[in-house]
Amino acid sequence: MPVSPIPARPALRSPRGLDRFFLRSILALSLTSAFAADRVLLFTKTAGTRENNVVDSRTPLKAFYEGRGVVVDTSENAALFTDSGLAKYKAIVFLKTTGDFLNATQQAAFEKWFQAGGGAQFIHAALAGGTNWAFYGKLIGGAYFQSLPGDSTTKHTLVIEDTNDISTRGLPHRWPRTDEIYGFKANPRAATNPAMHILVTVDESTYKNGHAGTDHPMSWYCSYMGGRAWTTAIGHVTDSYAPRPNAPNTDSLFLYHLWGGMEYLLRRDAVPVAFPTARKKAAAGPKMGVLSSGARYGEGLEKDARGREAGPAAPGR
């Protein structure tokens, strides 16, 4: 008796939307895997004047960066600056590093690491560091700290010069802040080897005793000898890193500006920075935490029925 052939089973077809979902998931996993090894050194050694909020700036910055998928080591140990000690890092953050904080051998190790494709981020008082180190000076565009305009902190308005950069796309074109404003020994815009790409300036008419004329850069970056450098003079006050209700700076925009700079250094240029919008600001800010003073900061911070700040308990309380 002839046996009828078994009809071929029709191929299963997934809905187009489901296909797109799986493709997006695979792409996300691929990006995560590609970036999984990114490790950053957050370095805060000082050999000159030390700002009194180094730790309270470092702690929330570390948490913010780690919340975006990188491993962050913090240190003030200059002995790390050897070929082997720096090999595991893709970027180094010089946060408020002042004075000559590395010796000649350690400087040479950094320069070798940088020229092999490393990325360096210089934040605020780092412009008062490396004053006798020519290579460091080149990376910051020669913009060593010179002076403050009278008051230590002052209200002012920053102006976004490059609105398309990964670190500025979500910033308001005119950005009011309260912070220190550094005067520099040289305007980084005048640097030529390497040239600096200016991101943010300060409107000199919005504060008193400015002495930079009409051109006063505050954030910029460059590519040089195989490495990348990203610099900002912003970031003195603690609430720049740990925004709190009723503080002079209550939003987390500065942290996102820094993260955009870090993405440039990590060569993640194609990955957009998810800047918070006014509608999502509370949900998009840094995670809740406690400063050394016991003050609470961060995402979800609210007030209780008596008007006191609610949040995680301070240590020892």
CATH of domain 36-310: 3.40.50.880
To the nearest whole percent, how much of the chain has pLDDT over 90? 65
Contact status, residue 162 vs residue 219, Cβ threshold 8 Å: no
Supply the pLDDT for residue 42: 98
CB 96 within 8 A of CB 54: yes
Nearest one of 161, 158, 151, 163 to 176, comparing CA atoms: 158
- CB under 8 Å to 212, separation ≥6 — which residues? 183, 184, 187, 204
Q: How many CB atoms lie within 10 A of CB 130?
A: 25
Task: With cut-offs at 50, 70 and 90, classify the pLDDT of residue 195.
Answer: very high
SS3 content of the chain, % helix, strand, coil (to 5): 30, 20, 50
pLDDT digit string, tens, across residues 225-236? 999 999 999 999
* Rounded distance between C-alpha atoms, residue 290 and residue 158, angstroms: 28
Question: Would the pTM count as exceeding 0.95?
Answer: no
**pLDDT for the residue 206:** 93
What pLDDT, on a 0 to 100 scale, did the predictor assign at position 127? 97
210 pLDDT more than 90: no
Q: Is the pLDDT of residue 183 over 60?
A: yes
Higher pLDDT pick, 143 / 211: 143
Would the pLDDT of 303 be above 70? no
Looking at residue 269, its pLDDT comes to 85
Strand partners, 229: 120, 222
Interval 185-198 mean pLDDT: 97
How does pLDDT run across 267-278, given as a tens digit for each residue?
Answer: 998 888 999 874
In this prediction, residue 34 carries a pLDDT of 47
